[in-house]
Amino acid sequence: MIKRTLYFGNPAYLRRQDGQLKVLLPKEKTELASIPIEDIGVMVLDHPQVTLSQALLSYLISSNVALISCNEKHHPVGLFLPLDGNSVQSERFKVQLDASEPLKKQLWAQTVGAKVENQARLLERFGLDAKRLHVLIPQIKSGDSENVEARAAKIYWGALFENHDFVRERFGDVPNPQLNYAYAIMRACVARALVSSGLLPTLGIFHRNKYNAYCLADDIMEPYRPYCDEVVMQMFYDGELEDDKLTKEQKAKILSVLTTDVVFTGKKSPLMVGISRTTSSLYECFAGERRKIVYPEFYDTVCTQSIP
């Protein structure tokens, strides 16, 4: 079942009634909408006057809804996740903790390979040359010891912005803010799926920053980043990103990435469903039930506009 993504950018009072999310005007308490909570996968709270009842909050978390809170600049800053996302969570935690270093290095190499492959396919969908990326993929070794990921990133961003003065950085100019927003949403969805699969999103296979609470989410989302890039880049080259301000229209388009189609071995699947498939396969790798993480690939379609 495809879960819904809800965005709240205006004042609202949210409460729970009979398994439904009730959306009301904050003063008049006039009901605007009623949504089954079981249908919700992600909720983005992006206004200081959005109020939730405790009954709703606890029910959303127990239903494994990724609840994202944004700051005054409209950037995601917080994520609520359940403490017990899987019925055999302690058993799965142990399997994850016992994973050997060679296994994690192999899984990271697979992850980097899938990311670079999707980056190459995205360049091709924009009518750009991806030969240099394809050449790098066979060079990926266990643990990506030769740092192919960074080398590929330099080629990738250089190709996407060959005729534009752009540097990919956290606090950079357009389209950096839009990319950051897309990645934050994707990260939250991956963290949600990891918890649902009974895994600790904090313990990564590659990322190990002690200040990072979602190292594993940052690992597993890497091959999914190009899906965010595609949406943002299409907006950029369509002239929709004129300044650093994130508009509601931009956010709506970015959030649509969660319902885009991805492909696993020739079969289409909604992206959010695909993420759950990926995290389930990761656990199976930890448990010795399979050797490779299941990652998506771009299917053969052409973007609506080639990069000039």
DSSP of 94-155: HHHHT--HHHHHHHHHHHHHHHHHHHHHHHHHTT---HHHHHHGGG--GGGTT-HHHHHHHH
Angle at 273 between CA 110 and CA 150, to 5 degrees: 30
Residues contributing to the annotated binding site: 149, 207, 222
Tell me, what DSSP letter sits at residue 259? G
User: In which element (H, E) is residue 45 found?
Assistant: strand 40-45
Do 190 and 224 form a contact (C-beta atoms < 8 A)?
A: yes
HSE-up of residue 247 (Cα within 13 Å, Cβ side)? 10
In whole angstroms, give the CA distance from residue 72 to residue 60: 23
Cα end-to-end span (Å), the chain: 38
What are 300's two structure tokens? 């053969």
What are 262's two structure tokens? 């991805």
Strands 4-8 and 40-45: parallel
Strand partners, 14: 23, 52
Residues contributing to the annotated binding site for Mn(2+): 149, 207, 222
